[in-house]
Structure 1
């Protein structure tokens, strides 16, 4: 033992630790687990009640099938830029290792949240289904069905190779009313100058 340790031990001889009484008593009982489970079930049920995305059987797509969808009114040049990956990706959702039901809920909530945040271009990584036991890309096939079912989706296209290629999809979302008004205001200012 060094001199400092010995001196410290001599000084601390006979010292008793202070007894602290607990000011907060944490009590966990089975009621907490039940209430947490009930809250989770209620949240899932409310999301499920609003979620209209189809879960019926579909024809499975080839893992390398290129996805493409464009609503009427989307300009060709805008859609071409989307397909080329020229727009900044503002949010990304990865569906790897999810079941169809999990993916369905995630896609629904992801698009809703993106709209609330006024995002325009997002990406979903669905994978190609190589590790699936089925004879096709299951999640990719469902994503291809779900996105056109959502009015918020203006168009989508399989990603460029550097962003995941046929295992991911770029999605263009509808402009929010606030963004439309900002554009009108900006254009009006430009004309008055």
Structure 2
């Protein structure tokens, strides 16, 4: 509670305060004036093409047939690790199906899929690309592009066409590098720095 003296003291301090004559509302009307800055921003927005962060390219792709086997490993991958991948002995932690996609859609999906796998600590994945057997020219288009794209992605350590029960030459096993979290866990587990 306030005392009578406190109230009088407050009123005395506030004696020269005057009420604001304007209504207590914000002016939300957008300015109709076109400024040089506005024109410059508008010109830059029209002229600027959005930068594509996806590094996957579509140039000079070697055409592959439906039964061609995809195989790739970066230097330093142990023979036994690659053999297990080739034989489909690692658990498939994620799948991506590219069937019925255009090359551009597949390009975006592969890039996004690999980044999501890396973010979630996934080490082995399966990508279903199809064999292209229905194509009149016999070229497996998505498979051909995938064979070029996967080595371009730094997190991809190795890949190999899948075993028959996982799609055979219409699918590919992909091994990704360890994320920092998994590396740290191994350091703690095995006592190395």
Q: Same fold (TM over 0.5)?
A: yes
- Runs of 4+ residues over 4 Å off in structure 1: none
Counterpart contact for 1:92–1:123, Cα < 8 Å:
yes
Q: Is residue 131 of structure 1 aligned with residue 134 of structure 2?
A: yes
Whole-angstrom CA distance in 2 between matches of 1:136 and 1:103: 16
Q: Is residue 55 of structure 1 aligned with residue 61 of structure 2?
A: no
Partner of 2:113: 110
Partner of 1:74: 77
Counterpart contact for 1:153–1:173, Cα < 8 Å:
yes
- Matches for 1:130-149 after TM superposition, within 5 Å: 130-149=133-152
Which of 1 and 2 has greater Rg?
Answer: 2
Q: Is residue 87 of structure 1 aligned with residue 95 of structure 2?
A: no
Using the size of structure 2 for normalisation, the TM-score is 0.72
Whole-angstrom CA distance in 2 between matches of 1:57 and 1:135: 18
Counterpart contact for 2:66–2:138, Cα < 8 Å:
no
1:56: Cα distance to partner? Answer: 1.6
Partner of 2:26: none
Partner of 1:122: 125
State the secondary structure of the residue aligned to 2:191.
Answer: helix
Whole-angstrom CA distance in 2 between matches of 1:57 and 1:184: 41
State the secondary structure of the residue aligned to 1:119.
Answer: coil
Q: Is residue 176 of structure 1 aligned with residue 179 of structure 2?
A: yes
Whole-angstrom CA distance in 2 between matches of 1:151 and 1:58: 19
Counterpart contact for 2:66–2:132, Cα < 8 Å:
yes
The alignment covers a number of residue pairs equal to 144
Please give the per-residue CA displacement for 1:83-104, whole angstroms capped at 9, x wherever unaligned: 0000000000000011100000
Whole-angstrom CA distance in 1 between matches of 2:137 and 2:119: 36
Q: Which runs of 5+ in 2 are unaligned?
A: 1-48
Name the Cα RMSD after superposition.
Answer: 1.6
| Gap change, CA 1:133 and 1:98, over 3 Å in 2 | farther
Whole-angstrom CA distance in 2 between matches of 1:149 and 1:136: 21
Whole-angstrom CA distance in 2 between matches of 1:88 and 1:187: 23
Partner of 1:35: none
Using the size of structure 1 for normalisation, the TM-score is 0.72
Which has more helix, going by share of residues? 1
Whole-angstrom CA distance in 1 between matches of 2:161 and 2:152: 17
1:145: Cα distance to partner? Answer: 0.3
Whole-angstrom CA distance in 2 between matches of 1:66 and 1:181: 35
